[in-house]
Amino acid sequence: MRRLNWWLEWVSWALSHWALLEVLNHLGSFSVLIAVIFYFADSGNRIKQKHYQAWQVINTAQGKGGSGGRVEALQELNNDHISLIGVDASGAFLRGIQLQKAHLERCDLHAADLRNGNFEAARLSDSNLQSTNLREANLEDADLQSADLQDADLNQANLQRANLANADLSRADLRYADLRDTSWKGIHSLNLANIYGIRNAPPDFVAFALKQGAVSFVNDEEWNPLLDDDASGKAPTPRVHAK
């Protein structure tokens, strides 16, 4: 046993003084460094591939219901500051999507489910938002110039400081929406929009809206007959606005 211990100690001493092992150790560290350099050098291609895959998800699901992975894909592109101008996600289920400061000009989101979505400071000018569900959505500071919001559900939506110049809000549900400091004077249409219970209405907005043909009904049962008459082209039945 002593001879074995002595032999092992000698081998250990000899190896510790073997220059080749030191060289191999340095080569191992060097190979790690090279791998790190190549990883960062190729990061641009990996990001491009990631964006390409995200666009594939969005385009493949176009025209289909459900999410189809579009929530994650759209958020990923927006987080990387990629423009989403002209994107088509009509009819998609995108509830709770987070698209703050997104460039969504001329997008088609009609009939999409965007409940509880966050579009703070997003650019949605000239967008198709017909029949879009924006209930409880955050549209604070959003640019909605010339957006088509006909029949949109904006119940309890946050529209503080939103720009609604030339927007079409015909038949939109604005009940309990927050309109604090909203730019509203250039609104294209509020015909049959329901403004019951709106919060923080700017001065003169309610009078302007009613003059434009808006209504104020707490219940759908009172509002729906007017919408049905409008859809069928019949003359609207005179009704008293709820206080």
Task: Please give the model's pTM, rounded to 2 decimal places.
Answer: 0.78
Both tokens of 159, joined, read 């529209």
Torsion of CA 64, 69, 99, 119, to 10 degrees: 40
Q: Return the axis-axis angle of helices 43-60 and 70-79, rounded to nearest 10°.
A: 140
> What is the pLDDT confidence band of residue 68, given thresholds at 50, 70 and 90?
confident
Burial string for 5-38 (b: 16+ CB within 10 Å, else e) reads: eeeeeeeeeeeeeeeeeeeeeeeeeeeeeeeeee
Phi, then psi, of 61 in degrees rounded to 5: -85, 0
By C-alpha distance, which of 89, 92, 97, 93 is closest to 116? 97
* pLDDT for residue 160: 98
Domains of the chain and CATH, by start = 83-232 (2.160.20.80)
> What is the pLDDT confidence band of residue 67, given thresholds at 50, 70 and 90?
confident
